[in-house]
């Protein structure tokens, strides 16, 4: 970790958008703590790697207690999902999805702000344009991502007086491991769109996250920023 560099805490950092965010921030000179789970991160990930199960509030408390420095930025990219036919979603799995996709961000923020000298100034949460577009079989995932949208605005209101911005980034299809959630119905929707919206490299969305993490985004909070390659625009009649 680079001494004196601004610090960021990035979850879901072993793969996909989280890993791309780590690389983008590190390239910009940030010192990054990468929160990973079961997937091994790339050996050359430019970050201090901390394994944590974000479904476990106790593990989140331990993670934050063990941080050597107070992060200025939190990017919560970790997410889980389960695919199930309508009415067959299980409450146990939905609770686990909610714990990681939604509740973990609140726990992380709460513990970070409870430290003696909190440095937190930016929170970036990750929603999903795709969750609202062709999410057949993914109602549980869509429910968690809708919850994240409400959470982002509520957190922005709560943390604004403390000088902390909170924003939501809604990616479209990304070329990441999570992409396997795409259903036949989604592909059919995409094929009907006025222009094709192929899966994008996650670095394109990481660039927006890095902007929100920086000083230039000081006046942006409670915002929902689409980074969906035109997915929603192409679906508008
Ligand atoms: N890919 C897309 O097309 C797309 C579209 C819209 C939005 N998004 C959003 O973008 C974000 C990143 O997804 P991605 O595409 O980069 O997928 P990804 O590569 O699968 O990343 C998700 C990460 O979350 C981690 N995670 C899952 N359960 C966890 C737990 N209990 N504790 C800690 N970490 C856990 C996973 O680690 P393990 O594998 O080790 O469990 C994984 O590294 C997510 O919020 C997703 O909803 C993705």
- Of 170, 171, 158, the C-alpha closest to 221 is 158
18 CA from centroid of ligand 1 (Å): 7
Q: Is 177 in the pocket of ligand 1 (CB under 6 A)?
A: yes
Where in the sequence is the domain holding 142, given as residue range(s)? 7-235
* Nearest CA, atom 7, ligand 1: 128
Residue pLDDT, tens place only, 66-105: 999 999 999 999 999 877 777 777 788 889 999 999 999 9
Compare 153 and 184 and report the one with higher pLDDT: 153
CATH code of residue 56 = 3.40.50.720
Range scoring the smallest mean pLDDT among 57-66, 96-105, 133-142? 133-142
Give the per-residue pLDDT at 194.
Answer: 66
Distance from the alpha carbon of residue 79 to the mean position of ligand 1, in angstroms: 4
* Dihedrals phi, psi of 36, to nearest 5 degrees: -120, 170
Residue percentage of the chain with pLDDT more than 90: 69
- 191-231 per-position pLDDT tens digit: 666 667 778 999 999 999 999 999 999 999 999 999 998 88
Q: Which residues contact 237 (CB under 8 A, 6 or more apart)?
A: none
Residue 120 C-alpha from the chain's centroid: 16
pTM: 0.94
Residue 32 lies in a domain: yes
Domain presence at residue 1: no
- Look at residue 34 and tell me if it is in a domain: yes
Residue 129 lies in a domain: yes
Ligand 1 contacts CB of residue 16 (under 6 A) = yes
Is pLDDT of 51 > 90? Answer: yes
Tell me if 2 is assigned to some domain: no
- Structural domains in the chain (count): 1
pLDDT of residue 233: 80
What mean pLDDT do residues 127-139 have?
75
The DSSP line for 10-72 is EESTTSHHHHHHHHHHHHTT-EEEEEE-SSPPPTT-SSEEEE--TT-HHHHHHHHHT-SS--S
pLDDT at 90: 78
Instruction: Say if 61 falls within a structural domain.
Output: yes
């Amino acid at each position: 970790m680079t001494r004196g560099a601004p610090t960021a805490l990035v979850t879901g950092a072993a793969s996909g958008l989280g890993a791309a965010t780590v690389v983008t921030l590190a390239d910009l000179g940030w010192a990054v703590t990468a929160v990973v789970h079961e997937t091994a991160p790339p050996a050359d990930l430019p970050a201090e790697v901390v394994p944590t199960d974000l479904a476990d509030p106790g593990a989140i408390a331990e993670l934050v207690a063990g941080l050597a420095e107070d992060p200025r930025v939190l990017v919560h990219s970790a997410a889980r999902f389960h695919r199930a036919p309508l009415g067959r979603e299980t409450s146990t799995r939905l609770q686990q999805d909610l714990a990681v996709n939604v509740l973990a961000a609140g726990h992380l923020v709460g513990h970070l702000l409870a430290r003696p000298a909190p440095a937190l100034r930016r929170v970036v949460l990750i929603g999903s344009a795709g969750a609202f577009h062709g999410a057949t079989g993914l109602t549980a995932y869509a429910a968690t991502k809708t919850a994240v949208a409400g959470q982002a605005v509520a957190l922005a209101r709560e943390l604004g007086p403390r000088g902390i911005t909170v924003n939501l980034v809604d990616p479209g299809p990304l070329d990441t491991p999570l992409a396997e959630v795409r259903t036949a119905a989604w592909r059919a929707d995409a094929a009907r769109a006025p222009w094709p919206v192929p899966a994008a490299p996650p670095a394109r969305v990481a660039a927006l996250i890095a902007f929100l993490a920086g000083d230039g985004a000081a006046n942006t909070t409670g915002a929902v920023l689409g980074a969906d390659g035109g997915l929603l625009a192409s679906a508008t009649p």
